[in-house]
Structure 1
Amino acid sequence: MKNMSNVDVFAICHELKELLRGARVDKAFQPTKDTVIIRFHVSGTGRVDVVFQAGRRIHTTQYPLPNPKIPPNFPMLLRKYIKGGTVEDIKQYNFDRIIEFHIAKEQKFTLVVELFAKGNIILLNEEGNIILPLKRKLWSDRKISSKEEYKYPPKKGINPLELEKEELKELFKNSDSDVIRTLARSGLGGIYAEEIILRASVQKELPAADISGEIFDSIYNAIYELFEPLRTSKFNPQIISDGKEDVLPIDLKLYENYKKELFETYNNAADEFFSSKVREDIKNEYEGIWGAEVKKFEKRLKIQEDTLNKFHKTIEESQKKGELLYANYAKVQNILDIIKNAREKYSWNEIASKLKQARKQGLEDADIIESLDKLGNLTLKIENKIILIDAKKEIPENAEVYYEKAKKAKRKINGVNIAIERTKKEIEKAKNKKEIEMERVTLPQKRVKKELKWYEKLRWFLSSDGFMVIGGRDANTNEMVVKKYMENNDIYLHSDIHGAPSVVIKSEGKDIPETTIDEAASFAASFSSAWTKGFGSQDVYWVHPDQVSKTPQSGEFVAKGAFIIRGSRNYIRAATLLIAVGMVDYDGKRLMAGPLDAVKKYTDNYIIIKPGYTKKEALARGILRKVDEERIFTLEDMIRILPSGKADIVDERSIRRR
């Protein structure tokens, strides 16, 4: 996979500055060892995820990567220091592969992203000292470690946007290489060096130190012309394919005959290019994991089959050797008799020497003798079979050794066959498991921003009687619920606790039944701070719209999202904190979170939750798997509709009805 060049970084930095200046920093995640994702909230746009892969890339992404269950230290530290901070500026340092994010909170921080070599991501304090790096590094002139002063790497390249002729002349003069290598090593990279040479119509093998006159002017003008789109911010983001794969922010003549896919922004182009590679990497990684499981059993099967073959060979060879001893009984017996008689006068070594001489002289029966050792082990060669016998024993005893060896191998064959069948089943099981697990592997899917209906921007549910109930998500939407959507015949509800949404039942000109009011009360209680406090029930009151006012009494102050209630209140005591979550078909398929009776009315597939101990993200993931079998919605969609704070899943049979 390609790494971003200085030119790529320039284009990305320019776009990120336009997009994220003034944005609020949200959470940080670290899905892989070298990759950090930071979520920003951009006014008027909403969520924007930026992926930082040390040494490789930085861009916005619509392909969320799965996060580890236990977050590493680095993203947790980023959350501690810069979450809630505001992006003041984004800069490319010295036209290098270094980007700085300047973030203001109680104090100012700088997040430095290094894309050269193996890269790094480093958080600095106001004084420019390192709070924590993603990777600790040590060079002779730079030390990247906590509490150390951050030092930029020495300048090695040129800035083509500010390049003067004298600087280019100096670069060529001090070079001991050809022109294309000199340009490539100046920080422009191989592709842009090739492009400059093409535009200048210069031979790439020319020694850089010899370049002057018209050739020098052609190269300088080609550099100026090539990078003019960077000066004017007239990018043409594109992915090159059809025999060559690359992603670029500007047009190159090198690729004018290649297939191109154009994009609105370079961030979008980079996201499509790099994310497709990441998906391949993730798939290959899981293929490798489950493939190794299959290979483990296949290797075991090979060993078992080799063992089985050895046993069959042992049986065949041993039986054959026993039979050969009997087939050549007279000849072998004659040799044994000679050895037996010789033992009365000679040592084993002396007998071996005499047998060797007898064979050389071609004496009768000596042709089958190979050797005799000092222990009396006689080696014979009969019909090209090497047969080892004990010269101190008779032929039947020696033959029985081979027959017994064959019997022993036969006895072992049955066990090996059983083991082979078991291993074959294990292989089949592992292959099936691999297939199942590969289907379960969630590759990054493009997060397409959905166009929300007006009520989906708020808290909402449909009551079992068919009434729309809406509630605020924060101070701004509380204001919206009352000022924009509440009408004369509606009902306003509020949980009797600080930190609760304004809830409105939309009457649409009809009488609102008590069942809907009870459901709305449970809804108002469940989405209040009572949930995060772990309460099981909470008092809720309801009033008519004309009792809800934003006008304070003299000397009073009404905060944003809060309202003054005048007149008597109708209380619903101990409204239950209980929410059901399911996928309903209401103007299209939607996730709905509301009181149990309401959700049950519109779907049979739902999960019930109450205040508990499971973290919101883990809970959302579990619910999504059960209620969204079609995988229409994302984890973010599910998280969005759940109450704030932790919760647990409830068995419906354990619920006591009021």
Structure 2
Amino acid sequence: MAFDGVTVAALVKEFNTTLKDGRIYKIAQTESDELMLTFKADKSQYRMLLSANASLPLIYFTNNNKPSPMTAPNFCMLLRKHINNGRIVSITQPGLERIVDFEIQHLDELGDIKIKHLIIELMGKHSNIIFTDDNNMIIDSIKHITSVMSSVRQVLPCKPYFIPDTMDKHNPMEATRESFMETVFSNAMPVSKAIFTSYTGISPAIAESLCFENKLDSSMPANVLAHGDQNLIWMSFYQLINRIKDGNFTPLIYEKNGKPEDFGAVPLSIYGDCTATNYESISLLLEDFYSKKNLYTRMRQKSSDLRRIVSTALERDRKKYNIQLKQMKDTEKKDKYKVYGEILTAYGYSIEPGTKKFETENFYTGEPITIPLDETLSPIDNAKKFYDKYAKLKRTGDALIDIIKTTKASIDYLETINVSIDMATSEHDLKAIQQELVQTGYIKHKKTNNKKEKNLSKPLHFVSSDGFDIFVGKNNIQNEELTFKVATGNDWWFHSKTFPGSHVIVKANNSELPDKTFEEAARLAAHFSKGQAQDKVEIDYIQKKHIKKVAGAMPGFVIYHTNYSMNISPDITGIKEI
């Protein structure tokens, strides 16, 4: 993600605008590596999350609160002692580092004015929250770093605080044309990498965008770039830095197929194929982005058992299916053995005993044919042997027709389950899928109490631009209910032609549907299918009265014979969800 120095600069601007001369009202340590600070400024109250989590370091304003432990940790108690009710003097960012420095004025035990600094470093596994005095001496930190843990810097009480310069990066806010040209274009690494490895706070996404907006190949070695192209990169970089200095930020979240891809405090041209959503505040953006990401990650974790069950069953069925197809191909030899038997029966009298092969004319095609013989058997017994092979292969082929059909249906069904799992947004959705797998025999039923659990998972509900209700099934049980219980004869049914996916029902209310509604329903059917990543998906649509349930088939499987089709994008941006 692009939690880079530019994002931190946007946060620092927002914090200064909101908190300058405000006071710290409340301090809580909600996790071992996380603080929740409450500020009062301009007669308003603001809550800020500061997290030094190694995998997801964060800082932003939030409206959400988290419960604190009954006994406050030592670091929290120390902060309360020193800076509770302290006044915010300044909030700064050194260079374009991923560091925020809160300068706080407070009164000590004797009533004298003192200055302290609360510094959060947002540097991946090296993230920390450090409390120092005005002489850059560490008072304490939320994580203690000893010399055993790091040879670069110790973060311990009474040790000096400094920003380690381990990457030999330059401050982009001080870059000149001459220094930029010398720093970036003097090495053989790719252009984009040369930019983000040379300057602090510049993310790979920003470096890639600087190349992309100038129509340059970011993988080209920097030292072979033409002088004119070098100048284009410098001008884009210069404009970016001036934009940061002026505080001209445009918080944007980039989404693809409804899922958050990335965010930026400035526009990122490499995400031109994504849907960009503008936010008034960088804090609102971060809270929204990470809540969506956390939901996606959490659902992936919670669905892991179901995914494993489905993946195992799919792998087994696909292996069976390939073996069955090979066996079916082998049965194609049966007609050859039948012809061998018939020719030997017709001409066997002319074959000498002990003959190893018989060459004659195939009386069906008129072409020469060579029949291998078992010299220990008579021609008639050889004929009987070929008839037996024919009969065995015919029985196998007849049996395989149904077996292959069943195995293919199982594969198709399990692929629809994978789509359902991807669509799940709550534990209720996963529970419904689990119940479906129990019902269809893929999960063994565990005996529980006799009370039937209420299914709280509901289909998705959208409203078209023309005001028609559109329902989307999240799993096969819901698909079947929508198609055969919710939909009536003149309602319209949509489904991907080639990919497993959701049934989409448009309630027509005995009215003619406008073209716009047809298109929006088709986009929903494309989006909620396995073809979601395609540019275009072919969608079948038909009135519900022409849909038939397949007797004995898995839930959600239907048949229809006359339908309309359209190719459409799976982008559902702008379709209102209820």
Q: State the TM-score, normalized to the length of structure 1.
A: 0.42
When Rg is computed on C-alpha atoms for both structures, the one with the higher figure is 1
Higher RCO (C-alpha 8 Å, min separation 6): 2
